[in-house]
């Protein structure tokens, strides 16, 4: 793959510019730098291999050549999106889930806030980061990593949550660049609905662990336990506490796992 071929592949999508790398540290880092240097809204960074890929909460994200998708979109939020910046990361997860549903007949779920699961195993992670220069927002970077080939799944000893790949679930090979195109199309389409009830509804319809007893872990904070009831309009996870009280968890450094 190269930038020109990729550009042709993605013709018709609202991507004003793209950068393609055979190898890079992290596509999010490249996209954050580009956002500060006046990248246009919708610009794309993609790499075949990441050497210092990053996940949420300071975790490492491994991307081996030829096996996965690792890419980052630069968004320049519009004024009406400024109050919904926290919805960009679920936008990434929803885009992946809808594309896997529509084009591959799968039934993905979104593990709040933004992991995509297939049969309760993680197939995709999303890392959204904002770049601020003082009070002004240079851009939001939406980084998405998808396990496509079975070799993209790290050994179980390195996982904190069970993981799988698209090809393992489908039982056949897929063209990574088709997956990329479908996901990008869904992300751009659903971005237009970021302010609408339909966005939260689509997310909620695919929410993993609904009605189940879960434990929320937050760095340096007491754990929260409860039953998952849904997603609130601002993206918080809604729960029913063990005494029946309504609880909610802010989007951010939250780790959600099935209770033991
Ligand atoms: C997570 O599950 O913790 C989020 C993983 C996000 C990985 C993607 S791969 C493309 C982009 N570049 C990065 O360094 N991280 C994101």
DSSP one-letter code for 26: -
Using alpha carbons, list the distances in angstroms from residue 219 to 53, 57, 174, 224.
21, 9, 38, 12
Residue nearest to atom 2 of ligand 1 (CA): 125
Q: How far is the CA of 154 from the centre of ligand 1 (A)?
A: 14
Pairing of strands 115-118, 121-133: antiparallel
Going by pLDDT thresholds of 50, 70 and 90, the confidence category of residue 255 is low
Going by pLDDT thresholds of 50, 70 and 90, the confidence category of residue 152 is very high
75 within ligand 1 shell (Cβ under 6 A): no
Using alpha carbons, list the distances in angstroms from residue 48 to 26, 143, 249.
11, 14, 35
- Are the C-beta atoms of 208 and 97 separated by less than 8 Å? no
Bridge partners (DSSP) listed for residue 46? 20, 71
- What's the rounded Cα separation, in Å, for the pair 227 and 214? 6
The pLDDT value given to residue 253: 41
pTM exceeds cut of 0.85: yes
- Are the C-beta atoms of 162 and 153 separated by less than 8 Å? no
The pLDDT value given to residue 251: 53
Helix axes 88-104, 176-191, angle to 10 degrees: 130
DSSP one-letter code for 60: B
When mean pLDDT is compared across 123-132, 159-168, 216-225, 250-259, the lowest value belongs to 250-259
Going by pLDDT thresholds of 50, 70 and 90, the confidence category of residue 11 is very high
pLDDT higher than 80, residue 257: no
Going by pLDDT thresholds of 50, 70 and 90, the confidence category of residue 259 is very low
The pLDDT value given to residue 22: 97
How far is Cα of residue 62 from the mean position of the Cα atoms in its chain? 15
Atom from ligand 1 closest to the CA of residue 115: 2
53 within ligand 1 shell (Cβ under 6 A): yes
The pLDDT value given to residue 254: 46
pLDDT above 70 coverage of the chain, percent: 96
- Are the C-beta atoms of 96 and 134 separated by less than 8 Å? no
The pLDDT value given to residue 220: 73
Q: Quick: pLDDT tens for 59-106.
A: 899 899 999 999 999 999 999 999 899 999 999 999 999 999 999 999
Average pLDDT, the chain: 92
Q: How far is the CA of 10 from the centre of ligand 1 (A)?
A: 21
Spatial neighbors of 112 by CB under 8 A, at least 6 apart, are: 207, 208, 209, 228, 231, 237, 254, 256
Q: Quick: pLDDT tens for 154-213.
A: 888 888 788 999 999 999 999 999 999 999 999 999 999 998 899 999 999 999 999 988
Q: How far is the CA of 188 from the centre of ligand 1 (A)?
A: 19
Cα atoms found within 13 Å of the Cα of residue 109, Cβ hemisphere only: 12
Q: How far is the CA of 55 from the centre of ligand 1 (A)?
A: 5
To test ligand 1's pocket by mutation, which of 61, 74, 154, 158 has the most ligand atoms within 8 angstroms of CB? 61
């Amino acid at each position: 793959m190269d930038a020109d071929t990729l550009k042709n592949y993605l013709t018709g999508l609202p991507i004003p510019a793209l950068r393609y790398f055979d190898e890079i540290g992290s596509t999010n880092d490249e996209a954050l730098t580009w956002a500060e240097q006046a990248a246009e809204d919708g610009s794309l960074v993609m790499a075949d291999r990441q050497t210092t890929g990053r996940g949420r909460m300071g975790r490492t994200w491994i991307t081996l050549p030829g096996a996965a998708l690792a890419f980052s979109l630069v968004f320049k939020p519009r004024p009406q999106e400024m109050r919904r910046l926290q919805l960009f990361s679920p936008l990434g997860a929803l885009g992946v889930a809808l594309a896997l549903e529509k084009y591959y007949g799968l039934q993905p779920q979104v593990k709040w806030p933004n992991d995509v699961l297939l049969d309760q195993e993680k197939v995709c992670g999303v890392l959204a980061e904002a770049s601020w220069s003082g009070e002004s927002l240079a851009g939001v970077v939406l980084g998405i990593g998808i396990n496509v080939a079975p070799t993209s799944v790290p050994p179980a000893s390195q996982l904190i949550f069970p993981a799988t790949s698209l090809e393992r679930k489908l039982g056949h090979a897929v063209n990574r660049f088709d997956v990329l195109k479908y996901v990008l199309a869904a992300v751009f389409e659903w971005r237009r609905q970021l302010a609408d009830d339909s966005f939260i509804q689509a997310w909620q319809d695919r929410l993993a662990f609904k009605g189940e007893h879960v434990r929320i872990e937050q760095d340096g904070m007491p754990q929260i336990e409860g039953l998952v009831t849904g997603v609130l309009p601002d993206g918080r996870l809604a729960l029913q506490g063990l005494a029946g009280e309504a609880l909610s968890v802010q989007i951010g450094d939250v780790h959600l796992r099935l209770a033991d």
